[in-house]
Amino acid sequence: MIKLAIVEDEDGYAKQLKEYIEKYSDESGEEFQVTRYSDGDEIVENYKSVYDIILMDIKMEFMDGMTAAENIRMVDPEVVIIFITNMAQYAIKGYAVDALDYVLKPVDYFAFSQRLKRAVGRISNKNKHYVTISFKGGSRKVDVDQITYIESHGHNLTFYTKTDEYTTIATMKDAEEKMSGESFFRCNKGYLVNLKYVEGIKDGCAVVNGNMLAIARARKNDFMTALTNYIGENIK
């Protein structure tokens, strides 16, 4: 199921886009869950990184599409944005926010379907695995490959990258489920480590991005085996 948002202040165009999406769905077999917003400020307010594709009108009353896209890109680097506009010169500016494409009004179904097909292809070809981390005041979609380790403390988890950290209400079990199939391994009950970032073992600790994370005695053999296997599989 592809989650798609339409951000369009004109009801007629919003209805037309929904009809086009339904037609494309019938032709392609792709399933869409569509949410409509009437202005840029509506989607930006309390934005959650849940959409795969956003169809964004550029000219709107309260917040224009370009500003809305800039706000969205601050928390969601992956969502596919397609601008809908009647002025091509505005759409070209969309490349500054990594927009995939644009469709000119009045919207022609064939042109629209080709853009939508391209967007669906972009989603299907993703190699990165993202997780959405919710925290007080918002959420952030983070590339799993950029997470160095996860720390459990009380009822909270902190996700660490090389430059940032994000704390959310969750358990280590939740983290292990999210990271299933990735290169993560528990070194003790409080740390889930991305083996990619283990710089070495020192004084009974895994050195991860300059941090000393204790390896529990009961987990040492399993951790070292997992680390050795990871290095062997990823050696150049």
Percent of the chain at pLDDT exceeding 90: 56
Alpha carbons 209 and 205: distance in angstroms, whole number:
12
In this prediction, residue 46 carries a pLDDT of: 84
Domains and CATH numbers, the chain: 2-124 (3.40.50.2300), 144-234 (2.40.50.1020)
Across the range 139-146, mean pLDDT stands at 85
pTM here?
0.58
Q: Which residues lie below 8 Å from residue 81, measured CB to CB, with a gap of 6+?
A: 53, 54, 56, 69, 72, 94, 97, 98, 99, 100
Q: What is the per-residue pLDDT across 72-100, written as a single tens digit (0 to 9) for each?
A: 988 888 889 999 888 766 656 665 677 77
Dihedral-angle region of residue 108 (phi above 0 means left; psi in -120 to 50 means alpha; beta otherwise): beta
- Tell me the pLDDT of the chain averaged across its residues: 88
| DSSP codes, 17-69 | HHHHHHHHHHHH---EEEEEESSHHHHHTT--S--SEEEEES--SSS-HHHHH
- For residues 96 and 81, is the Cβ–Cβ distance under 8 A? no
Structure tokens at 162: 């090389």
In this prediction, residue 226 carries a pLDDT of: 92
Of 24-28, 156-160, 228-232, which gets the smallest average pLDDT?
A: 228-232
